[in-house]
Structure 1
Amino acid sequence: MSPPRKPRARSTAPDPKRWPECSRCGHCYQLAARWPEGPICMHCYNAARRREGACADCGHVGMVPGLNTAAEPVCLRCSGIPLALTCTACGEEAWLAKGATCWRCLLRGMVHDHLAGPDGQISPALQPMAEALCSMPRANSGVTWMRANPQVGQLLRALGTGSLELSHDALDALPAGRTVEYLRALLVTHHALPPRDRRLATFQRWLDDTLARVEHPEHKQLLDRFARWHHLRDLRRQAEHGPVEAGPVLRAKQSITVTIEFLGWLDRRGTTLAALSQHEIDSWHAGGPGTREHVQRFLYWCRAQRLTGKLELPRRDKDNPQLIGEHARLKIIRSLLLGDELALPYRIAGCLITLFGQPAGKVVALTLADLTGSDASSPELRLRLGKQWVPVPEQLAALIHLHLEHRANTNTAANAQSRWLFPGQVPGEHLSRTTLLAALRGNGIPVRAARNTTWQQLVREAPPQVLADALNISPATAMKHAQRAGSDWARYVSTTHHQQ
């Protein structure tokens, strides 16, 4: 059975002069039928045709379009409603799509037509993806996906007939776009293609295109060394431990882009890297926007490679972190727990940031395995953030239980069996860190300042070493928070060291 849907808002105003009151909603909208209970408007009629569940009167499981005297859903037989809800193709009671065919059968037919080869059969490599598409919880979403975007049908037919090779290289040769990347991720999720980090591959293609536009031969050679042996190597290391996040990729792109501008600036001044002086460094930073500081990674790399002399590079001051008042932090927590301005996944993620001081990147990467006691009947919900299991406050636990019942983005073939606590829209991936931050900031939550304030409070209540183990940060970072908060745990550290 599909999870319940939120009723769609009506786009027109009621018209009492033209239509009688609907026996269900009590409003005067266009009528669709007259049932034993009275006139039914089009809105309530469509909602009834889609409703699945168990009949409150006889227990029949299937379509329950009717309502009994207690306004509980009942089946066709118990309600006496003259409505045809049996699919002529599969013989099951279902929400019918076209004629007397249900959405599930319509979807199966479309998937077969799109993916079948010249012999009329779907290849074994594509069969798992075809089965996942056909069994997605909301079949109508699959039909809409293939109908609304013509490119989807073109790509699926090309894969089915073999005119498009089933490989990453063949997809890379197509014009870049969201449809191609979504289909690629779907193929990877269902083992038709080998896994590949999406953002790492995108960065590699961007790097090749960017370097191809650099006309100066020496600059191109130098940039190639810097990009591949510094940024690309770092991103590959990150990919060994999990999906590369958008932030590191964006920072790498910005660093390379600013470096290209910097080398052009030096060339116009008639200066080489070997002759680079402190005066040029200061002039570069003083003569342009703040984004010029992103050249520093390149200059540090040049200094390590002995391409420049020992120059002093400006450093960003990190000793004065952004903070908010404790009262403001508690107000944010209260709004996340009790308000409904944000979708439930964002509210839960925001609570994990403001209650436990977790970075957004760590929050979105939590899996179902990081929860214990997630069954609503369990006495306590615990969350694994570091080496220890942390108890979740009761109000937040209630939100997490509600979220687990109907996790977002799991009603398609993309993430039906997702292991992520917060599944993303891209198949096989979790919620984007960038998306989470945009949602929280758009709701007036200063994420970084709230997280810093959380740590200022946490280190007043527990030793930094204990917090570091439980909440998965380095002891040095935890101690810095303690020093900034004015909490002296040196006595605790020395005492525990003496006892050991």
Structure 2
Amino acid sequence: MTGTRSPGEETAARRRLVVDAVAAADPSLPVDVVTGIVEAVNGAALRVLAAALAADPTALAVGAPTAVGRLVTALIAAGSTLPTPACALCGRVGAELIRDENGAGLCPRCRHRQLATACARCGIVKPVGGRDAHGQPVCARCSDRSQRRCGVCGALRRIGRRAHDGQPDVCVNCYRLPEAVCAVCGRRRPCAFADTDTPICKTCAPRRTAPCARCGQDRPPAARWPEGPVCDPCYTAALRHRGLCASCGTTRRLVHPPGPDATTCADCAGLPASHTCADCGIEDKLFTAGRCAPCALRHRSAALLAAGADQVPAALTGVHQAICAAANPYSALNWLRTGAAAGLLADLAAGRLATTHDALDAHPRRAAADYLRALLVAHQLLPARDDALARAEQRLTARLAAVDPPEHRRILTAYATWRVLRRLRRRAEHRRSPRTWTRYAETRVHVAIRFLGWLHDRGTALADLDQSTLDLWLTTTGPAAANIRDFLNWATDRDHTPALTVPTSRRRTGPATSENERIALLARLLHDDTLELTDRVAGALLLLYGQQLSRITALTTAQITQSGDTVHVQFGTDRVALPDPLDDHVLRLRAEGRPYTGLGAATTGWLFPGLLAGQPMTPSHLGARLRKLGVHATAGRRAALTHLASELPAAVLADLISLHPVTAARWTSDTGGTWNRYAAALVQDRNHQP
């Protein structure tokens, strides 16, 4: 094309060039049809189209640049057999394509990612979002954007919603979608299109799906890589997968050739290393601000504990290290973001909350305060205390303050202080379990309060109480009435009432798991590998040895010993040899530890650690877990004790599983075995060795 031609001749020449190129690429399409389509192209579009086909006639097969793609779309609509223009990387159709340096047609999104380079500010390889004052590339997160004063928080930030109709600017941090009833799930949630007839929440919003290039599942793509769209599970797995590079021999993330069979790292393949943590340099899935999850956790927890200072206070260093050592950094990050205890920790670090038990007791969020209390006690920021005993004292103080008349309050306060709580404190000083059980003690005080109220309603003074009145109370006020015995004994010792008799309550029995069901449950616990190891070991100890849940949760790793091939557990004075395969399960639990332990929990030595730092699992929680497997603690324990009592003498049973001798004798008697001749049989046994 020369400049001596007239404009009309130039246009005609360009059209002939395009028609000839189309005829060569698809001879099956009639020339007059092609001519009619090309005649509709004019101006700059025709110039670009002619120039692209003159430079590379194969551009029709690629479908790029945009003018060529539009022509191919029109030709296909007219019956052409040319391939549908699609992105060479992600396979997307319908998008206007751009030719890269290798001649491939890419959609704008893939071309944008193909041109990714290191951001001049954060250093992360990302698509270019803008340029700084020196013309250097910066990512979208770091690019300069106009900032204005937020009408909600007052900070100078990027605006997420512009001011309109009298409403102020709202920054990206303060903006929330308006609430409406979602047209899909029917729940009231923040929704897009809230002012229309079809509001939709974020969960129900449709997401475009595509077959994953790795697993083949039709899922929303998390990324579009050279091999094609990749779903989120495959995307995460690929970013965390490490292998031995075939070129340099180092263990790194392998990226070339594209796909799960990659053998070469980014450096050896001559590609920019992407998804590299800005702090530690590891190639991993990044969480925020160019940091991997562990580094983001370290950064955020340090910012929370520093409370605006340059570094974390020395007193909180242990807490910071415990948070950073969380087994699952994503859970820890979520706790820092939404956990109520994390908010209390921030208040404590900033000095808004005193580091005392009293301050935590007064906080309205009791669960959060208890969680933080355990964390602080585990790291010696608070002195250890018996929480069960402290709670019992608080509850009884509040309950007694409401007692009327005053003379009853005085007597009951003296009983609670010098009899009940004193006994609890003494028991707490010598206890071996991690908790002091206070329910029965509190029940005695509550029954005494009810009893004095009952006497007051009848117009009877405590000093005038007689046996007939007491018998009336015992026979008309329910099974808990007999718990008045301890109060009356105390009152008699102090001459508040004459000596009276309260009959001993009969030992209550209940249903027991049948022997066949016990054996079936044990078989499942011992051999079903789909069950969690914690539940398998705890359930087996209950069904084999009749151990209480409170004693199972209080087991420590020191109570598990191994002598050669034999594994022992010590419940009482004697060690119990564990049968196979329970011994392997116990050793594995001791070695691996229970999963899902609480955040910031230091090494405690508990075999069943709980969610509170330094504390074991609670019996109620363990009981709920076992009930889901069909193991009911009370019925299962009765069945186990019945079996053991029928096989062992009471003295052996008591020492073996830490039962009181009287209790062991009662169980043995209930099963019909007295073992009266046991000692004589041992004497006559020549093979017996004491």
Q: TM-score, normalised by structure 2?
A: 0.62
Q: Quick one: which amino acid aligns to residue 287 of structure 2? A: A
Q: Map 1:13-92; keep pairs closer than 5 Å.
A: 19-35=209-225, 38-49=228-239, 51=240, 55=243, 84-92=274-282
Q: Is the 8 A contact 1:409 1:425 kept in 2?
A: no
Q: Quick one: which amino acid aligns to residue 670 of structure 2? A: R
Q: Map 1:184-203; keep pairs closer than 5 Å.
A: 184-203=373-392
1:191: Cα distance to partner? 0.9
Distance 1:276 1:366, change over 3 A: same
1:225: Cα distance to partner? 1.7
Residue 566 of structure 2: SS of its match in structure 1? Answer: coil
Residue 373 of structure 1: SS of its match in structure 2? Answer: strand
Residues in 1 aligned to 2:451 and 2:529: alpha-carbon distance in whole angstroms: 47
Distance 1:233 1:457, change over 3 A: same
The number of residue pairs the alignment matches comes to: 480
Q: Quick one: which amino acid aligns to residue 392 of structure 1? A: L
Residue 192 of structure 1: SS of its match in structure 2? Answer: coil
User: Which residue matches 1:354?
Assistant: 543
Cα offsets for 1:455-487 (capped at 9, x unmatched): 222233333322322222233322222222122
Q: Which has the higher helix share?
A: 1
Q: Quick one: which amino acid aligns to residue 311 of structure 1? A: L
User: Which residue matches 1:490?
Assistant: 676
Equivalent residue in structure 1 for 2:585, among 399, 409, 412: 399
Equivalent residue in structure 2 for 1:224, among 405, 410, 413: 413
Distance 1:230 1:98, change over 3 A: same
Equivalent residue in structure 1 for 2:490, among 292, 298, 301: 301
Equivalent residue in structure 2 for 1:127, among 317, 323, 326: 317
Distance 1:193 1:343, change over 3 A: same
Residues in 1 aligned to 2:276 and 2:347: alpha-carbon distance in whole angstroms: 34
Cα offsets for 1:378-423 (capped at 9, x unmatched): 7332212223332222222333344345433565543241310000
Q: Is the 8 A contact 2:276 2:290 kept in 1?
A: yes
Q: Is the 8 A contact 1:355 1:454 kept in 2?
A: yes
User: Which residue matches 1:249?
Assistant: 438
Residues in 2 aligned to 1:72 and 1:218: alpha-carbon distance in whole angstroms: 85
- Calculate the aligned-residue CA RMSD, in Å: 3.6
Distance 1:431 1:224, change over 3 A: same
Identify the range of structure 1 (352-361 vs 230-239) with the bigger mean alpha-carbon deviation. Answer: 230-239
Q: Is the 8 A contact 1:19 1:29 kept in 2?
A: yes
Residues in 1 aligned to 2:392 and 2:480: alpha-carbon distance in whole angstroms: 20
Gaps of 5+ in 2: 1-201
Equivalent residue in structure 2 for 1:144, among 331, 334, 344: 334
Residues in 2 aligned to 1:399 and 1:234: alpha-carbon distance in whole angstroms: 39
Are 1:207 and 2:396 counterparts? yes
Q: Is the 8 A contact 1:467 1:478 kept in 2?
A: yes
Q: Is the 8 A contact 2:286 2:293 kept in 1?
A: yes
Gaps of 5+ in 1: 1-10
1:371: Cα distance to partner? 1.1
Residues in 2 aligned to 1:469 and 1:352: alpha-carbon distance in whole angstroms: 16
User: Which residue matches 2:569?
Assistant: 383
1:243: Cα distance to partner? 5.2
Q: Is the 8 A contact 1:197 1:243 kept in 2?
A: no
Distance 1:439 1:154, change over 3 A: closer
1:178: Cα distance to partner? 0.7
Q: Which has the higher strand share?
A: 2
Residues in 2 aligned to 1:180 and 1:342: alpha-carbon distance in whole angstroms: 33
Residue 474 of structure 2: SS of its match in structure 1? Answer: helix
Residue 611 of structure 2: SS of its match in structure 1? Answer: coil
Cα offsets for 1:352-397 (capped at 9, x unmatched): 01101212111110001111239xxx73322122233322222223
Residue 381 of structure 1: SS of its match in structure 2? Answer: strand
Q: Quick one: which amino acid aligns to residue 436 of structure 1? A: L
Residue 274 of structure 1: SS of its match in structure 2? Answer: helix
Residues in 2 aligned to 1:336 and 1:133: alpha-carbon distance in whole angstroms: 34
1:63: Cα distance to partner? 6.3
User: Which residue matches 1:101?
Assistant: 291
Q: Map 1:92-491; keep pairs closer than 5 Å.
A: 92-116=282-306, 119-149=309-339, 151-175=340-364, 177-240=366-429, 241-242=431-432, 245=435, 248-318=437-507, 320=509, 322-339=511-528, 343-373=532-562, 379-404=565-590, 406-408=592-594, 412-491=598-677
1:291: Cα distance to partner? 4.0
User: Which residue matches 2:140?
Assistant: none
Distance 1:443 1:237, change over 3 A: farther
1:335: Cα distance to partner? 3.0
Distance 1:329 1:383, change over 3 A: same
Identity %: 33
Identify the range of structure 1 (36-45 vs 391-400) with the bigger mean alpha-carbon deviation. Answer: 36-45
Q: Quick one: which amino acid aligns to residue 334 of structure 1? A: A
Q: Quick one: which amino acid aligns to residue 398 of structure 1? A: D
Tell which structure's C-alpha radius of gyration is larger.
Answer: 2
Q: Is the 8 A contact 2:256 2:266 kept in 1?
A: no
1:12: Cα distance to partner? 9.5
Q: Quick one: which amino acid aligns to residue 356 of structure 2? A: S
Cα offsets for 1:164-195 (capped at 9, x unmatched): 33222332333351111111110000111111
Q: Is the 8 A contact 1:63 1:85 kept in 2?
A: no
Distance 1:289 1:405, change over 3 A: same
Distance 1:130 1:465, change over 3 A: same
1:199: Cα distance to partner? 1.4
Distance 1:152 1:471, change over 3 A: closer
Cα offsets for 1:145-167 (capped at 9, x unmatched): 12113x43442233223343322
Q: Quick one: which amino acid aligns to residue 673 of structure 2? A: S
Cα offsets for 1:290-314 (capped at 9, x unmatched): 4444434333433444433333324
Q: Is the 8 A contact 1:20 1:28 kept in 2?
A: yes
1:424: Cα distance to partner? 0.8
Distance 1:349 1:56, change over 3 A: farther
Distance 1:86 1:466, change over 3 A: same
Distance 1:317 1:438, change over 3 A: farther
Residues in 1 aligned to 2:648 and 2:263: alpha-carbon distance in whole angstroms: 56
Distance 1:444 1:134, change over 3 A: closer
Q: Quick one: which amino acid aligns to residue 115 of structure 1? A: L
Residues in 2 aligned to 1:236 and 1:179: alpha-carbon distance in whole angstroms: 26
Residues in 2 aligned to 1:67 and 1:228: alpha-carbon distance in whole angstroms: 77
Residues in 1 aligned to 2:264 and 2:658: alpha-carbon distance in whole angstroms: 52
